[in-house]
Amino acid sequence: DAGVIQSPRHEVTEMGQEVTLRCKPISGHNSLFWYRQTMMRGLELLIYFNNNVPIDDSGMPEDRFSAKMPNASFSTLKIQPSEPRDSAVYFCASSLTGDTLSSYNSPLHFGNGTRLTVT
Amino acid sequence: DAKTTQPNSMESNEEEPVHLPCNHSTISGTDYIHWYRQLPSQGPEYVIHGLTSNVNNRMASLAIAEDRKSSTLILHRATLRDAAVYYCILRGEETSGSRLTFGEGTQLTVNP
């Protein structure tokens, strides 16, 4: 299995531009998570989906951020317009969850992240 | 969310055992104890998890205190590749649901 695939690995953009990060979860996984990591704030959950439906987006910083999961094999995180404070490493993770109990057992599999720099 | 407390950093020598502690005094009865680690420039990686009994897998062992208020991740023979940040996380219906909430973790340094 190729694991969780994120693209691009690195993104450098200017303030005000739109940025789209992409994630392909592990085939068969039905939960998908977007995290952001900075030195100041560590790893923060932005949003997670279950069966392609957003379950909790309380971590999304503001309206400039949006995430979609049009099908089970693809998700995007969009920032529009981007700002320098959005510079971070963004991770996508997936897991297989069934009933409630298994949700707390199933490990998350993370991608290698997208390093975003907004100048 | 129920919190975990870990030392900021620990040091070990190569090929020696490492015991990484975690305190979680407010753990609820349904919380699982998960451990992840993050190597430099990589995403977090699942290590092990447990509920009440001690657990072993190919990567590590997890020792859970009888009152479940603390746990210890055991790396039996540290290698240079084990240098990483180790996160102890509680996961359960009352605590976080399906989410993983990361704290600051323990930075493990392995000396050759």
Interface test with B, best of A9, A36, A38, A43 (most B CBs within 10 A): A43
pLDDT at residue A37, rounded to an integer:
97
Q: Residue A24's closest CA among A82, A109, A115?
A: A109
CB-based contacts of A70, cutoff 8 Å, min separation 6: A52
Contact B36, B44 (CB under 8 A): yes
Residues of B with Cβ-Cβ distance to A42 under 8 angstroms: 102-104
Contact A21, A42 (CB under 8 A): no
Mean pLDDT of chain B, nearest integer: 92
Q: What is the pLDDT along chain A (119 residues), one digit of tens a residue?
A: 689 999 999 999 999 999 999 999 999 999 999 999 999 999 999 999 999 999 889 999 889 999 999 999 999 999 999 999 999 999 999 998 865 556 677 899 999 999 999 99
Residue A19, phi-psi category: left (phi > 0), alpha (psi -120 to 50), beta (remainder): beta
Tell whether A110 is within 8 A of chain B (Cβ): yes
pLDDT at residue A102, rounded to an integer:
61
Q: Tell me the per-residue pLDDT of B34-88, one tens digit each, with 9 for 90 and over.
A: 999 999 999 999 999 999 999 999 999 999 999 999 999 999 999 999 999 999 9
Identity at B70, one-letter amino acid code: S
Higher pLDDT, B97 or B14: B14
Task: Tell me the shortest Cα–Cα distance from B107 to chain A, in angstroms.
Answer: 13
pLDDT at residue B8, rounded to an integer:
97
Place of tokens 């990591």: A37
Mean pLDDT, to the nearest integer, of B85-105?
83
- H or E element: which one contains B12? strand B9-13
Determine the Cα angle at B37 with ends B33 and B40, to 5°.
Answer: 165
pLDDT at residue A103, rounded to an integer:
66
pLDDT at residue B94, rounded to an integer:
64
pLDDT bucket at B1, cuts 50 / 70 / 90: low
pLDDT bucket at B96, cuts 50 / 70 / 90: low
pLDDT at residue A39, rounded to an integer:
93
Q: Are B101 and A112 an interchain contact pair (Cβ–Cβ within 8 Å)?
A: no
Residues of B with Cβ-Cβ distance to A2 under 8 angstroms: none
Tell whether A50 is within 8 A of chain B (Cβ): yes
Q: Tell me the per-residue pLDDT of A13-44, one tens digit each, with 9 for 90 and over.
A: 999 999 999 999 999 999 999 999 999 999 99
Tell whether A48 is within 8 A of chain B (Cβ): yes
- Exposure string (b/e) for A40-68, b if CB count within 10 Å is 16 or more? eeebebbbbbbebeeebeebbeeeebebe
pLDDT at residue B99, rounded to an integer:
73
Tell whether A93 is within 8 A of chain B (Cβ): yes
pLDDT above 90: percentage of residues in chain B: 81
pLDDT at residue B78, rounded to an integer:
96
Helix, strand or coil, per DSSP, at residue A103? helix
As to burial, measured by CB atoms within 10 angstroms (0-12 exposed, 13-18 middle, 19+ buried), residue B90 is buried
- Cα separation of the two ends of chain A: 36
